[in-house]
Each structure stands twice: as C-alpha cells, then as structure tokens.
Amino acid sequence: MNTLTTYRSCRVLCLMLFACCTGIAAAPLDEPLKPVPDMPRQDPERVELGRRLFHDPRLSVNNSLSCASCHQLDKNGADSRALSLGFDGLPVAVNTPTVFNASLNFRQFWDGRVETLEEQSNVVITSPHEMGNDWNTVVQRIAGDPDYQRSFGAAYPDAVTKANIQNALTSFERTLLTPGSRFDQYLQGNTDILTLDEKYGYQRFKDYGCIACHQGVNIGGNMYQKFGVFGDYIADRGHPTEADQGRFNVTADEADRAVFKVPSLRNVALTAPYFHDGSAPTLERAVDVMFQYQLGRMPSEEDKALIIEFLKTLTGHWEGQP
C-alpha cells in the first residue's frame, strides 16, 4: 500500500469516527425511492372520532360491517381473504388493498375511480355490495348517539354532518402511515441496516425494471399499468369477471381494458393475497407473475430470492410498533 492510499484510508476512518463521536447523521442517499414522509398535522379530536367511526358497524346498513372489518389494522390494514365479504355476506368484486399509506396514493381503488379518501369513504358506505347504506341513515345513527353528539360538537362547529363524518374518518386514515422500515432507514443514510443480500435485492429490483412501475414515496400507487403486458393473465387464470376490466369500467376506453392502479409495495410481505383478484396467495407467486406477465422474462432463482429479501425490508411501523 502506497503512502497516498494509506493517507486516504486513514482519512476516511477518521471521518467515520468523527461522525460517530459527534453524532453527525449520515446524509440521505440519492435514490429514486424516498422514505415515508412525516405525518401531516391532524386535529387530535377529529382523529379520535375517525378512529371510533372506522371501527363502528353502524356505518353499514345492517350494523354488521365496519371499515375495520375488511381493513383489519391488526392484519396490516388489509384482509387475509382473497375477497372480503360485504354486508350481505357475499364476496365483493376485488381484493381489499391495505389502508396503511393509502393517503399517499394518487388515486383510490384498483380502478382509480376516485381521487380522495373522502370520495372513497362515500363509495364504500353507499355501495350496494359493501356497506349498502345511505347518508341520511348514517347521519341519524351517529347524531343519535349522545357520545358522538358531544364529541362532534366539540370538534366541528356544525356537529354531525356527512362532510364531518367523512372528514373525521379520513383524518384518522391519514395517520395510518408506516414509516421506519429498514429500507427507509437505509435511504436516510443508515446503510449498515440492510444485509448484503438485501442490498443486492434492491439492485436487482432496479436492474430488472420493477422500479419503472413501483416508484415514488409509496413504491407504487402513483400510476396505472396494464395487467398482462407480456401475456393475458386474466385469460390464463380463467373465469373472467367484470372487475377484471379495470379502468375500462370507468372510462370505456379500450386502451384501459385490464388497466389497474399499480399497488404500493410498502408492507407487501404482510399483505397476502395479492393482485386485484387476490389470486396470488404468496409473495413468491406474485413475483413470478410479475416477471412473466409484466416483464416478459423470468429471473434466476437466486435473483428472485434476493428481490424477495429486499421486499421484506419495506415493512414499516405504525404507532411505534412493527
């Protein structure tokens, strides 16, 4: 080792020791993916109202179903069934996506038919297949509860209204962010927190082109894509349904047939089953389908295993807990 190399090595070591001793944080990495942002400021009274409403089955027509019945917060904000059951006990048309980080999506629902969480709550509550209710009934039920009446009166000047119920629900939903994943900590400069295999997996994720669709702060949820670029997944699966038409049902544009909102990959290791139809029971199967039908090639078993190791680093925290 020459004198210059020795000097450079010693200088790097000294800088690292200085940073550790002085508490200087490592610089964030310049990567195309970004960490979950800080939670937006919310009125705590409205958030608590929203939490109660989220778990209240009186939002459904027959008092059988709450938001939490399908978006199970103790099961990663999703449903372990391929298709959730509506108020009538029958399966709904598409798989229930996780409510965690939903506020970071550019649109809501698999077919992207609404932009905001407020619009999403309206569709679900009045859907004849989900909660089956109407707003007059919902407002009457909530306003008729003395505890709700007092809490809404304290939080809103006009107390219980449709708009205020929606605002309370979405105020709570906007707190359902999951920061602190090991990958986010890596992006923030703690490069030692990932194993070498996990780092290789992230590199393969980029090299194979997964990042072309699963991008942005939510690692998805910010664009549409056809399901089946290199093959017809729906035809191969069999038994096509109206829901398989995706955005075509919204726009009637032939170019939108089988086009869906790209799902977020945050917490993806914990939100099986996958896809709009819940047809992939495991993460391994979902990765296989993505390679075959979206990328048109299959990875080596080693590369597939590395990508799955990376995907497991996307599990975050909610209310300080994994």
Q: How far apart are the C-alpha atoms of 160 and 168, rounded to whole Å? A: 10
Q: Which sequence spans correspond to the domains of the chain?
A: 44-173, 182-314
**274 CB burial (10 A radius; 0-12, 13-18, 19+):** buried
Q: What is the pLDDT of residue 2?
A: 46
**What per-residue confidence (pLDDT) applies to 13?**
44
pLDDT on residue 3: 43
What's residue 25's pLDDT?
60
Residue 321 pLDDT: 79
Q: Which residues contact 183 (CB under 8 A, 6 or more apart)?
A: 33, 194, 202, 310, 313, 314
Task: State the pLDDT at residue 290.
Answer: 98
Helix (H, G, I), strand (E, B) or coil at 277: coil
Q: Which of 108, 94, 121 is nearest to 245 (CA)?
A: 94
pTM of the model: 0.89
Residue 75: its pLDDT value, please? 87
Extract the tokens encoding 299.
Answer: 């990875």
* CA 129 to chain CA mean position, Å: 22
Residue range 153-181, pLDDT digits in tens: 999 999 999 999 999 999 999 999 999 99
**What's the confidence (pLDDT) of residue 109?**
98
According to DSSP, the residues that pair with 78 across neighbouring strands are 72
What is the structure's pLDDT at 195? 98
Candidates 119, 130, 242, 284; catalytic one: 130
- Per residue in 221-244, pLDDT (tens digit) is 999 999 999 999 999 999 999 999
Determine whether domain 182-314 maps to CATH 1.10.760.10.
yes
Structure-block tokens of residue 305: 């295993």
319 has catalytic annotation? no
Residue type, 90: L
Integer-rounded Cα Rg, in Å, for the chain is: 23
Whether 44-173 and 182-314 share one fold: the answer is yes
CATH of range 44-173; options 1.10.760.10, 3.40.50.300, 3.30.1050.10, 2.102.10.10? 1.10.760.10
Per-residue confidence (pLDDT) for residue 8, from 0 to 100: 42
Residue ranges of the chain whose pLDDT lies below 50 = 1-24
Residues across the chain: 322
